């Protein structure tokens, strides 16, 4: 039974690894420094303001929850914009601009004699 579970976990990890595109370390660092770190600082500020503005604890929790929902929406928006630009970039990368690197035969008129 244990071997079957290990095999299932292995198959799942390989499936996930093969399905999703590989993210480079520099892409993760750019995303972290440009999006996540400023967002965390804003969320900390929002939590401090919510704790000071509202006396009732349930209002504080609702305000913090709304701030978290806005943050998740912002991150998903940034990720969707990035993925759309990445799809456009990869589509342009695979369209050949010339016959260099293709399997086309060399024509007799382009000889360098």
Q: Which domain holds residue 71?
A: 57-86
- Specify if 73 maps to a domain: yes
Reading the chain (113 residues) residue by residue, the pLDDT tens digits are: 899 999 999 999 998 888 877 778 888 888 889 888 999 999 999 999 999 988 899 999 999 999 999 999 998 898 888 877 766 555 555 555 565 655 655 565 555 54
- Specify if 68 maps to a domain: yes
Number of domains in the chain: 1
- Specify if 79 maps to a domain: yes
- Specify if 32 maps to a domain: no
- Specify if 15 maps to a domain: no
Query: Are 43 and 68 contacting, i.e. CB atoms less than 8 angstroms apart?
Result: yes
- Specify if 17 maps to a domain: no
Full-model pTM: 0.55
> How many Cβ atoms are within 10 Å of 87's Cβ, its own excluded?
10
Distance in angstroms (rounded) separating the CA atoms of residues 28 and 85: 16
Query: Are 67 and 47 contacting, i.e. CB atoms less than 8 angstroms apart?
Result: yes
Distance in angstroms (rounded) separating the CA atoms of residues 46 and 40: 10
């Amino acid at each position: 039974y244990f071997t079957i579970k290990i095999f299932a976990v292995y198959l799942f990890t390989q499936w996930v690894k093969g399905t999703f595109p590989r993210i480079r370390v520099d892409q993760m660092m750019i995303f972290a420094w440009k999006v996540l770190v400023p967002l965390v600082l804003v969320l900390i500020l929002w939590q401090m303001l919510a704790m000071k503005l509202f006396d009732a604890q349930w209002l504080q929790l609702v305000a913090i929850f709304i701030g978290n929902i806005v943050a998740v929406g912002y991150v998903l928006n940034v990720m969707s914009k990035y993925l759309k630009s990445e799809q456009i970039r990869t589509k342009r990368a695979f369209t050949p601009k010339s016959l260099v690197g293709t399997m086309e035969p060399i024509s007799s008129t382009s000889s360098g004699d």
